[in-house]
Structure formats: structure tokens, C-alpha cells
Amino acid sequence: MKSCAITCVIGWLSFWTFGAVAVLTPDLSETQMVIATLLAFGGLMAGMTSYLKLCRECK
């Protein structure tokens, strides 16, 4: 359960970090934008699935 909580924190951290980079940085190339978006999506998936797993285990 502890590793799932750590995965949740790291997933959400990467989602917000790379999402902010993709949205707020004006001079990114198209390749950099796609990479930042894919990393943010991966963080979203990792954070959401681990959060739902934690919610299921706590009940």
C-alpha cells in the first residue's frame, strides 16, 4: 500500500509538472510539446489508477 501511495504522488506530480510545461511554455517545438503532453498523460494515468486502487483498499 505504501508503494501505491508513492506511485500516486509521483504520478500526480509528473502530471502537473509536464502539463504546466506543455501549456505555459510558449517557445516549445512541436516534438517537445508532444513529449511533454505524453508524459503528462502518463502521469495522469499513473496517478488516477493508483488513487483508485488506494480508495478500494481503504474501504
pTM: 0.85
* 43 to 26, 27, 29: CA distances (angstroms): 22, 23, 21
Q: In whole angstroms, what is the distance from residue 7 CA to residue 11 CA?
A: 6
What total number of domains does the chain contain?
A: 1
pLDDT score at 20: 95
Summarize the confidence of residues 6-15 as an average pLDDT.
94
Q: Which structural domain range is residue 22 located in?
A: 2-58
pLDDT score at 44: 96
Question: pLDDT (tens digit, 9 = 90+) per residue, 14-59?
Answer: 999 999 999 999 999 999 999 999 999 999 999 999 999 999 888 7
